[in-house]
Amino acid sequence: MKGIHLRVYTYENSRHEGKPLYEWLLHKAMESGIPGGSVFRALAGFGRHGTLREERFFELAGTEPVLVEFVAPRAQIEAFLDLLRQQNVQVFYAMIEAEFGILGGDAG
């Protein structure tokens, strides 16, 4: 199946509607019918402002970069991005063309 690999970059302490943003993104993706998503916390990273954020610095606790990923058909990803725009969610994202499917025996 062909679709889109959506990568959303945020920070661990970013919030939306009173929830951690990564958690809010996962819940909204589930509600939108996106078949799956994952959250990854980075050891270190920097963004457009050039600030290096690393887990080891106590004074930056909670500011570590977080990556939220989804793979789904293009229409679902575009609808999800429209929802983020409507909700005024400010994140950096990347969309990558993807081919995806399930290999092997039991898919459940």
What average pLDDT does the structure give for the chain? 87
pLDDT at 58 over 60: no
Give the tokens for residue 43: 């050891």
Rounded mean pLDDT of 72-86? Answer: 97
pLDDT at 15 over 70: yes
Question: Which residue in this structure is represented by tokens 């916390």?
Answer: 41
pTM for the full predicted model: 0.81
pLDDT at 38 over 80: yes
Query: How crowded is residue 24: how many other Cβ atoms within 10 Å of its Cβ?
Result: 20
Model pLDDT, residue 39: 96
Given a contact cutoff of 8 angstroms between Cβ atoms, the answer to whether 70 and 6 are in contact is yes
Give the tokens for residue 73: 């058909």
